[in-house]
Structure 1
C-alpha cells in the first residue's frame, strides 16, 4: 500500500509524463450522513476551518488563475514539429524584447471589480514559456508587445494584461499573462498525515473548471497496482472540498511508479466564488499545466 504522504512528497513533476485519462467523480456526499466515514470527516473539518475564515476572505479578494496562463496562436499548430517544440518548451529568440516603464497592471473582472498588481516584464514572461533552447524542433519568437487576454480565475472571467509574443510562421501571437498570482493566504488547517491512499490522497492539480461552473476536472495520482483514483466532493456555501483516494489496491509484488488520471467531478451548483479545496492538504487546489514546470500558484 502506498502511503498518501509519499504521493504528496513526489509532487506533480514525477507524474507529468504519465497517462492522461478521464473518469467521472463519485458525486456529492450528503453532509448529514451519520456516522461519517473518516475521509468525509476530514472534508468537513477542512470546510469548517475555511468557511467564514480570514483566509477565505483573502482568497476572494485575490487573483488566482483557474485557466491556462499562456494561450496559443489561432490554429496552432502548423505541424507536429511545432507541437512537439511547444510541449518541450523549446524556443529561440530572434528579436528584441521590449522594456516598459509601466510598473503595474490591472485585473478587470467581468462581474465587476478590479485589482492592481505588479506587472511582469517581457523577459520574465518569455522565460516562463520558453524553458529550453535545445537542438531539435523549436518555435521562434521575433518580438513582443503588451496587450490583454481573457482568463478564468477564482473570481470568474477576467481581462488581464498579457505579453503578446510574435511567432515566426504564425499570424496571431502567443499570449502570456503579465501578472503573477496573488500570494495565497495562510491555510486555517494543516495537512492530513499518514493516511492510506485508499482512504485519502493529495490531488495533483486542477485541470479546468467548466465554463458553466457545474463541474471541475482535476488530476489525481495513483499507483501501478490499483484500479485508479476516485474523487468525492463535499459542497458548502463557502467551499467545495475534494477528497481523492485510490481504489482497488492489490496485495503482492508491484512495479513501482506513479500515474496521473484526470477525474471530472460534477457539482450540485456552479462553483462561483467558493474556494476549491483539497481535503488532504487543507489548501486550495492549484491550477497547473501538465506539460509545464509547476502549478501557476501553490
Structure 2
C-alpha cells in the first residue's frame, strides 16, 4: 500500500493535471495557520523565488496589470430574500427573462484609488451573464430581467480599483447583481521554473488565494493535505517587493493511509501590509492565483 507522503504527492499531481476537476473537501474559514517546522528546503526555495522576481520583467508587468484578488461578482445589497434564492445563487441557476444589451463601446477603463488607470476590452453583457450562470438546472431559479453598464469597486493586486461592470436586474431585488465587465490581464511569464525536488511534505503548491483583508494585513489561502497528517502549514517570507507563501504539511508519517485529498483555509499575517507587493507561491514561482483552484 502506498505511503501517506507518496499518496498525497500523487493526489496533488492528479489534481493539477485535471485542472482542478478533482474533488477535495475544503474545511475551515480562515483558521490561523499551524507553525511550520523549520524547513530549510522551503526557506531556500522562497528566497530563490524572491530573488528571481526582484527587478524582473515579470514584476514590472505585474505592477502595470489588472489582477483582481476579490470576487468579480457582487450580490444585491438585500440578498437573499429566502433560502430558495440563496440555493439558486449557490447553484448558479439563473433564468434570463429579458434581452441583454450590447456594449456601446469596445473598451473600458480601470481606475485605481492610488492613482493610475488601464484601458481593457469590455466583455459583452451576454458573455458576463454566461460566466455568472450555468442556467437550465433543476430547482429554484433567480430571474434576470435586464442589464446596464455601470461600475463596481474591486480589490486588486494594486489596491482597490473602480472597474466597468454589468449591472444585472434580478427580479424582486432593489439593487443589481454586479459582474466585472473586463477580464484580468494576461499573467506574466514567471522568471523561475516550478519547484521540482523534494516530497509534498517538504513543499507543495497552494490550492488557491481565497482573499486579502481590506487593509492588506492578512491573506487567506486554501492549502492541501492528506487524511493522515496534522494538516497544512503556510510560512511567510517578506521582501521589499514580494511576499512569499510556502505551503507544507505537518505531522506526516510513513505508513498505510487512504488516498484522500483535503483542503483547509488558513489566514496568514505579514509583518506589514501587502500593499503593491506581489504575493507569490514559493512552489510554483507564480503569483498566488485567486478564485477556484
Aligned to 1:117: 120
8 Å Cα contact 2:66-2:156 kept in structure 1: yes
1:242 to 233, 241, 245: 245
8 Å Cα contact 1:14-1:258 kept in structure 2: no
Q: Could you tell me how far 1:40 is from its partner in structure 2? A: 0.3
1:132 to 135, 139, 162: 135
Q: 1:3 to 1:27 in 2, by over 3 A?
A: closer
- Tell which deviates more after alignment, 192-201 or 167-176: 192-201
8 Å Cα contact 1:155-1:272 kept in structure 2: yes
TM-score (norm 2): 0.92
RMSD (Å) for aligned C-alpha atoms: 2.0
* Over 6 Å off, 4+ runs: none
CA deviation map 1:80-101 (0-9, x unaligned): 2211211111111111010123
1:70-219 alignment to 2 at 5 Å? Answer: 70-219=73-222
8 Å Cα contact 1:27-1:233 kept in structure 2: no
Q: 1:243 to 1:217 in 2, by over 3 A?
A: same
Unaligned 5+ segments in structure 2 are none
- Tell which deviates more after alignment, 15-24 or 218-227: 15-24
SS at match of 1:261: strand
Separation in 2 of the partners of 1:222 and 1:133?
35
Separation in 2 of the partners of 1:141 and 1:41?
52
Q: Could you tell me how far 1:259 is from its partner in structure 2? A: 1.3
Separation in 2 of the partners of 1:214 and 1:273?
12
- Tell which deviates more after alignment, 269-278 or 241-250: 241-250
Q: 1:266 to 1:27 in 2, by over 3 A?
A: farther
Q: 1:250 to 1:71 in 2, by over 3 A?
A: same
Q: Could you tell me how far 1:279 is from its partner in structure 2? A: 0.5
2:28 to 14, 20, 23: 20
SS at match of 2:191: coil
- Tell which deviates more after alignment, 134-143 or 144-153: 134-143
Q: Could you tell me how far 1:16 is from its partner in structure 2? A: 5.7
Unaligned 5+ segments in structure 1 are 289-293
Separation in 2 of the partners of 1:259 and 1:85?
26
CA deviation map 1:53-73 (0-9, x unaligned): 010000000000010000010
Separation in 1 of the partners of 2:249 and 2:59?
29
Q: Could you tell me how far 1:17 is from its partner in structure 2? A: 5.1
Aligned to 2:270: 267
SS at match of 1:252: coil
8 Å Cα contact 2:8-2:226 kept in structure 1: no
TM-score (norm 1): 0.90
1:279 to 268, 272, 282: 282
Q: Could you tell me how far 1:118 is from its partner in structure 2? A: 0.2
8 Å Cα contact 1:46-1:279 kept in structure 2: yes
8 Å Cα contact 1:120-1:180 kept in structure 2: yes
8 Å Cα contact 2:36-2:233 kept in structure 1: no
- Tell which deviates more after alignment, 269-278 or 190-199: 190-199
